[in-house]
Amino acid sequence: MTSATPSTPSTPTADDPTTAPGAVMAAEMAEQPDVLGRLVARLPELGEAVRGALPTPLLGSTLIARGSSDNAAVFGRYLFEPASGRPAGLAAPSLVTRYGARTDYSGYLVTALSQSGRTPEIVTAVRAARERGARVVAITNEADSLLAAEADVLVATDAGTEIAVPATKTVTAQLLAVVGIALALGPLPPTVADLADLAELPDAVRRVLADTDACETLAADWAHHDRLVVAGRGLGGAVALEGALKIRETSGVFAEGISVADLLHGPIAALGARVPVLLIDVGGPTTPDIGALRERLVADGVPHATVAPELGGLRTEAARAIATTVHLQNLARMFALRRGANPDAPAGLAKVTPTT
């Protein structure tokens, strides 16, 4: 499925010395309500295209990605499996590109995510899966990319050119596209995702973008920390991974995203006054786990905060998770600025990482 040709945003370039640090990232973040609104309107069409491409029978789903797209893939894993009633998991591209794996993908749906559609190992792994029987859905911002050419169904996110190194509008568009694919695979509980609630997402994101007070306060309080942990579970765990990546790449803070369950299996012993914890609670069945961890952190004297943006009455866990991702983008940008870094163009990073 193709989309309209993305328009180029009227933002300055990240390496323009006259551009204020963080201005490009902020401008692209501000485009998210419109990007999400366009994509929400296309979700019924997306669902029809995906259902038409599914193998019969569907044996399972695999997601292939790297970087921020990999965090969106983790998000998808928590949606695809309950929706389809079939196993869902993440592929390791290196199994193809380094170990020469020849996996039989007959009966499998492969969903590949890449903002640029140009990461060599993603394209190679997807091509290998398709040659061995997979049906392929590609989620990318570039409709004429190499990845798009490998797809049975193309989901062009139509986010427009993204200039700042940290992916923002393309990530939330991927998250929304993943929800749309999941709804095409089968029913999800109405507390997890539904189209009516997703239609409210653009306005909720506008409110999140406008409400920066909590982010500014936390960035000021924690700017001196060189390490922190971002913890969530389920869909909130995927949001934690993405939030940690944004903080890490924009500010140089070594932020680690981790499942609450995994944190309790040993890493919690490394926490203390110098390593604060950011808790991600997007509602749903994992909220009690967040509460239990919060009580443990209080007892152990570990500094912590809970991400709780104003979400304007969003009812479903998936929609709240996407809006919370935007809140963490705000926080990452402010962390970077507080630490004297330019989040538009972090040192040592490029917009496209050509891993093979």
How far, in Å, are 34, 156, 167, 345 from residue 16 at the CA level?
26, 29, 19, 10
- In angstroms, the CA 272 to CA 52 distance is 52
Give the model's pLDDT for residue 344: 95
Query: Is the torsion defined by CA of 167, 168, 173, 176 positive or negative?
Result: positive
Q: Which residues pair with 230 in a beta bridge?
A: 257, 278
- In angstroms, the CA 141 to CA 174 distance is 9
Q: Which amino acid is at 32?
A: Q
End-to-end CA distance of the chain: 27
Residue keyed to tokens 């006259």: 18
Q: Going residue by residue through the chain (356 aa), what tens digit of pLDDT does each one get?
A: 333 334 434 455 555 655 799 999 999 999 999 999 999 999 999 999 999 999 999 999 999 999 999 999 999 999 999 999 999 999 999 999 999 999 999 999 999 999 999 999 999 999 999 999 999 999 999 999 999 999 999 999 999 999 999 999 999 999 999 999 999 999 999 999 999 999 999 999 999 999 999 999 999 999 999 999 999 999 999 999 999 999 999 999 999 999 999 999 999 999 999 999 999 999 999 999 999 999 999 999 999 999 977 787 899 999 999 999 999 999 999 999 999 999 998 877 777 778 88
Query: What's the whole-model pTM score?
Result: 0.94
**Distance from CA of residue 336 to its chain's centroid?**
20
Give the model's pLDDT for residue 17: 54
Residue 57 has a CB neighbour count (10 Å cut-off) of 7
Structural domains present in the chain:
23-203 (3.40.50.10490), 211-338 (3.40.50.10490)
Residue 250 tokens, joined: 């924009």
